[in-house]
Structure 1
């Protein structure tokens, strides 16, 4: 459970680091100086790494494989991004998002079968 919680928190920070500067639409986003965007994003990503690295170490020490850790991280990432996309960027969810999520959950299931 600690691994999943830390991965979820790390994904909140990484999604913010990658996409915060898009808020306000293309016109607003393009007015932000790219060097400033990169430096702010690096600062946010540092927090993400401080959460993701321990999450992976704890999960691996608990018997999760590297593949299991990665696929869980991807599933969490999709959930976090969907929320960010709607709440921060104001973009709607479509059936394609649900279909992609179901495919990813299938991948999670395949990696945990027999574990």
Structure 2
């Protein structure tokens, strides 16, 4: 049996990071447009989420060849938090405070336990 290549581990992570950028925009991008009609932002968010799924589904499918489902989920949570932290500070102008970082660190620790044999 041949060991998986480095790219077999890397590509799913890259796809999940890219998919998370789309999902974060879909979920939180509309917060800068609070006067836009709700139905409009829902439809736009659905359109953005379509591209998230186009990246997330293959990322998880490819990732399942080298990661377990719990590992993929733990990884996804950490990626989500990192992408959100950058998005919140740069796009929304709401940098995270110490307690947010502490909570994220605890989630990171929990996710790392997924990789413990």
Q: TM-score, normalised by structure 2?
A: 0.88
Matches within 5 A, 1:1-115: 1-23=10-32, 28-29=33-34, 31-62=35-66, 64-114=67-117
Equivalent residues, number: 108
Q: 2:15, 2:59 within 8 Å by CA — same for their partners in 1?
A: yes
Distance 2:26 2:101 in 1: 24
Kindly report structure 1 stretches of 4+ aligned residues shifted beyond 4 Å. none
For structure 1, the 5+ residue unaligned runs are none
Q: TM-score, normalised by structure 1?
A: 0.90
Aligned-pair CA distance for 1:37: 0.4
